[in-house]
Amino acid sequence: MNIKYVSDHNINMEEYISREHYMEKLRGLRDLPLIKVITGMRRCGKSTLMMMFRDEIISSGIDSEKTYYLNLGDELNNTISTPRELIDDIKSHLVTSTPSRRIFSKLLDF
């Protein structure tokens, strides 16, 4: 399956390796009301896989306004420093009239 990834985050996803095996696993869980956690070794492509999945969801017709990408690993652009700030930031992007909101977050490595 050849999928064109449409993105708004300044990364050309077409330059990355297709991870069809992992994308199929995510697709199978896509509409389940579960939190999806992608784990793996450092720099193995977890964030890229997450963005590919997000872009595929947008490409399928989900409004990009119904997705929120939060990169807690970006020290230069991260203004969140406490759990309360994280909760407030996520709540500010949730719209109660939009039940199918999707949040994508890159968490810090400790």
- pTM of the model as a whole: 0.69
- DSSP SS3 for 102: strand
pLDDT of 35 above 60: yes
% of the chain surpassing 90 pLDDT: 9
Could you write out the DSSP letters of every residue in 21-90? HHHHHHHHHTTSSS------STTSSHHHHHHHHHHHHHHTT--GGGEEEEETT-TTT----SHHHHHHHH
Tell which wins on pLDDT, 107 or 34.
34
Tell which wins on pLDDT, 2 or 99.
99
